[in-house]
A and B are shown apart, each in its own frame.
Chain A
Amino acid sequence: MLKEEVVGQEERLLNGDEAAAWAAYHVEPDVVAAYPITPQTIIVERFSEFVADGLVRTEFVSVESEHSAMSACVGAAAAGGRAFTATAANGLQLMNEILYIASTLRLPIVMAIANRAVSGPINIHCDHTDAMNVRDAGWVMLFCEDAQEVYDTIIQAFKIAENPNVLLPVMVSFDGFLISHTAQKVKVFKDPSVVREKFLGGPRKPAKIKLMGHEVELSLNPKNPIPVTFGPLDLYDYYFEHKRQQSLAMQNAYEVVKEVHEEYARLSGRRYGDGVTVPYRLEDAEIAVVAMGSAPGTMRYVIDEMRDEGIKIGLLRIRLFRPFPYRDIIEKLRNVKVVGVFDRAQDQGMMGGPLFLETRAALYELESRPKVVNYVFGLGGRDAPPEMFREAFDELVGINKGTIKPFIRKYIGVRE
């Protein structure tokens, strides 16, 4: 273990959006291109204040749509700059086309998502359907539990994205309103140079590639000895290899997420599990709950209550959703008997929610498999109180005892 040198920090009262804006302030990207959408808007409002007050030298590009926000980020990152944006829900869907292009061009863009239900019907409140709809776009995807984690993770995201073995864009999600608009004490570094210089190592240094016998910067830099053509037509003779390389980069991201998380922890003193998953009271658990976002906070409260009653239940919070940490899930849930996977996302026509499908598929690797059931909850910001989770957890206890028949999926907190 390397020495931990926690550096100077100060506490501020920030909501999740403000924490994201502070992270961007401390990183000082070259370009922030963004478009307002609830519940993300506070991020760009705060950030434009930092620009207006001269605290950052970032070019803030106030684009006319999210599609153009991502397009401008692609241009900025290809030019060799650091690019950041933020959006939610419909804005993320409008970007979809360019998300795939950003990852394929291997551009280390960072984006904050204040997770919100996707229209229609139009709804501004939290669920994860927006992020789930873009889960195959080739972005590294991290889900945060609170505003502190938002600040920490956005800073980490730049370092993950720019790692030469990764070179992929990173999406940092947090629950709309529940986190984006809820103020809490957030520790931020006193000196932004800790983030910019010490942690990120100064300005972005685009990767070097070999091109026609020359070493060139993978950017639009006119000084390159051989100019780079970005985004060529790529047909059946090369496309597949490029997609394969991209999937290798995504695999590489797994270790890099852990390393960067640990490196950051040494500066900040804060850890979120190993950066990939965050287990809670799982050691001797017979029943495990799997979830993402802010719901695990409520779940831990219920788990403590049940533990006091002698029930062996624990939680595995998934922090890294892409690349999906299936090995961790297999390892951490190897000995449990029943798993309840909680999806805050739609499952239209699927066997269950996305988190459920992948968790269950991971556990299929085990010789002796736990029962895995799915709960869909909290769509469109529907409240997810402890009592609702308690009822579901009791059901998992019943499945473990054999008094309740296992099922595939249930919807909770909804009028049927």
Chain B
Amino acid sequence: MQKRWVPTPIEIAKKPDYILSGHRLCAGCAAPIIVKLTLKAIPNPENTILVNATGCLEVATTIFPYTAWKRPWIHNAFENAAATASGVVAAFKALKKKGLWKDEEPTIIVFGGDGGTYDIGLQSLSGAIERGHKFVYVLYDNEAYMNTGIQRSGSTPFAAATTTSPAGKVIPGKPEWKKPIGFIVAAHMNAYVATVNPFYWQDFVMKVRKAIDYDGPAFIHAISACDRGWRFEPSLAMRISKLATDTCLHPLWEFDPETREYRITGQSLYLAKNPDKIVPVEEYLKLQGRFRHLFRPVRRDDLIKTIQNRIRKEWNYLLKLAGFKS
């Protein structure tokens, strides 16, 4: 790993944007913030190529004949962003070998949503990581198929109501738990993996920089608040994002494949040292319409407790992985 880069807000603000305004993502959507932060962390943005899986980000930024992308960008299909990136990486490697590309090989950044990553694209992602192609895969995780109208995905949290896991009279939202995608990717043992939160922007950009510097595949898991799907006022996006980490629902950590170490970072490191500052999950749940049925018409203390217990269990697991004594 190279010398630690600690950017100031001014440094970040001064960097040019490579996703331009005028795109049609919803007000209150965290995805374009995630994209902006990612691209601001790149040391050589002029030598960067972007790959995008099908999803909100893709459809809302490229309605022909317009494009919001000021970098070379390719969308192929839903489940194959990582495989497409493999091809781009391989082509530049060959062109370089043949002396047809004189510069450094371009930085390849992939953006995929949770549907394209947890579910339909998991095979292609796993294959590309196993093969060791050097690219940074940024998962913007809004926890459902938002582009098609809020259907349940492998990322949708327990008890969340979606259009295919509705809160019914018998079944109160999604009965299953969220798939631990970060650990699954880390288990490949050759990828730098980190969770990030756009609210904690400094931790975010530092990890993206580490991901780019790592000589191999890297995976960044960003929680991506979605006002349409999570049912909240657009102005609350960053507050809800913050709570995702402050409740330990989306803790900030990284996995270093060189040392095989898990490290808890940023705000989560602070919470690990100050457990009394951890916010009860109810504060997060009650702001979102997708969890309304946990509070109305009758308060479901049983379900809220189940969620809180699960978070405690997973947080303790992470603390153990990162070498904290519980």
Instruction: Spell out A's residues near B (CB within 8 Å).
Output: 30-31, 33, 57-59, 61-65, 67-68, 71-81, 83, 97-98, 101, 203, 219-222, 224, 227-235, 237-238
Contacts and interface: CB of A to CB of B under 8 A. Distances in A.
Report, nearest first, the 7 A-B pairs whose CB atoms are least far apart: A75-B87, A64-B127, A72-B87, A81-B91, A232-B62, A71-B80, A68-B83
B79 A67 contact: yes
12 contacts: A31-B90, A62-B131, A63-B127, A65-B124, A68-B83, A68-B124, A72-B87, A73-B87, A75-B84, A79-B88, A228-B72, A230-B74
Given A31-B94, A61-B90, A81-B92, 8 more contacts: A30-B98, A63-B127, A67-B83, A73-B87, A75-B51, A75-B88, A222-B47, A231-B74
Nearest to A102: B76
B151 interface: no
B124 A57 contact: no
A285 B104 CA distance: 63
Contact of A101 (B51, B76, B91, B100): B76
Contacts of A33: 86-87, 90
Interface in B165-191: none
A61 B51 CA distance: 18
A232 B63 CA distance: 6
Interface in B56-80: 58-59, 62-65, 67, 69-77, 79-80
Nearest to B59: A233
A54 to B, nearest CB: 11
A59 B92 CA distance: 9
Given A31-B90, A62-B131, A231 B67 contact: no
B86 A68 contact: yes
Interface in B103-137: 106, 123-124, 126-128, 130-131
Looking at chain B, what size class is its interface with the partner chain? Answer: 35 or more
A252 to B, nearest CB: 23
A76 B64 contact: no
Contacts of B58: 233
Contacts of B51: 75
B228 interface: no
A222 B94 contact: no
A78 B90 contact: no
A229 B62 contact: yes
A53 B51 CA distance: 32
A83 B91 contact: yes
B126 A30 contact: no
Contacts of A203: 98, 100
A74 B200 CA distance: 36
Contacts of B106: 222
Contacts of B80: 67-68, 71, 98
A30 B127 contact: no
Given A72-B87, A76-B87, A232-B67, A65 B127 contact: yes
Contacts of B59: 233
A229 B86 CA distance: 18
A235 B47 CA distance: 30
B92 A79 contact: yes
A320 B234 CA distance: 56
Given A71-B76, A229-B73, A232-B62, A222 B88 contact: no
Contacts of A30: 90-91, 94-95, 98
Nearest to B65: A238
Nearest to B87: A75
A76 B90 CA distance: 7
B163 interface: no
A220 B92 CA distance: 10
Given A31-B87, A229-B73, A222 B95 contact: no
A57 B97 contact: yes
B265 interface: no
B101 to A, nearest CB: 9
B70 A78 contact: no
The interface centre, meaning the residue of A59, A73, A98, A230 with most chain B CB atoms within 10 A of its CB, is A59
A83 B26 CA distance: 38
Contacts of B85: 75
Nearest to A75: B87
Nearest to A202: B100
A58 B100 CA distance: 13
Contacts of B127: 63-65, 68
Given A75-B85, A232-B63, A224 B90 contact: no
A231 B47 CA distance: 20
A81 B63 contact: no
A221 B46 CA distance: 11
A78 B94 contact: no
B308 interface: no
Contact of B86 (A72, A219, A235): A72
Given A64-B130, A75-B86, A235-B64, A222 B91 contact: no
A222 B72 contact: yes
B93 interface: yes
A80 B91 contact: yes
Contacts of B86: 33, 61, 63, 68, 71-72, 75
B94 A57 contact: yes
B48 interface: yes
A101 B87 contact: no
Nearest to A238: B64
Nearest to A224: B72
A230 B75 contact: yes
A227 B76 contact: no
A203 B31 CA distance: 39
A63 B92 CA distance: 17
A97 B58 CA distance: 18
B49 interface: yes
Contacts of A79: 49, 87-88, 91-92, 95
A98 B77 contact: yes
A227 B62 contact: no
The interface centre, meaning the residue of A30, A65, A98 with most chain B CB atoms within 10 A of its CB, is A30
